[in-house]
Amino acid sequence: MGLMNGDSAAAHNFALQIDGVQVEYLAEVGALQLEQDVIKHVQNNPQGKPVVRMMPGISQGGTVSVTRGQTQSSSFTNWINESLAGNMGSARKNATIIYMDYMNNPIKRYDLRNAWCCKVETAGTKAGEAQVLTEQVTITFEELVIA
């Protein structure tokens, strides 16, 4: 069953897939950012008055950050390593962020085409503190398809 009319999706129910394989554990998905150039075209109409048209330009691609606990997930770690090593033939993958309803049914998909990891940041550690060790990975992508 999908969402009832007027309901919104819960922010805690999401998943990340890389080339169709779901990442085992994920703590957070940051804001998805995509930018597209805007072309401003000014011309005169037959009466000599300026007319301004705004048109879409080249997409600049985008980024999203995900946070995960330090686990033994070798597939995600291998993807990070391939990306950071510059092995773009194997690093560029299609990733999908999936948001789900209360029954774990997909309700929104963000397909990130030709995605790869461009930044890794580990959480700080402190002796005597009880906390989970996490890493934040920034994923860059060339194209976004929303389904």
User: Other CB atoms closer than 10 Å to residue 140's CB: what's the count?
Assistant: 17
> What does the alpha-carbon distance between residue 50 and residue 40 come to, in Å, rounded to a whole number?
12
Q: Is 98 domain-assigned? A: yes
Residue 74 lies in domain: 14-146
Residue 133 — pLDDT band, cuts 50, 70, 90?
confident
**Residue 137 Ramachandran class (φ > 0 left, ψ -120 to 50 alpha, else beta):** beta
CATH assignment of the domain containing 26:
2.30.110.20
- pTM for the model stands at 0.83
Overall average pLDDT of the 6-17 stretch:
78
Residue 10 — pLDDT band, cuts 50, 70, 90?
low
Overall average pLDDT of the 99-123 stretch:
91
Contacts of 132 (CB under 8 A, 6+ apart): 27, 69, 70, 123
Q: Is 69 domain-assigned? A: yes
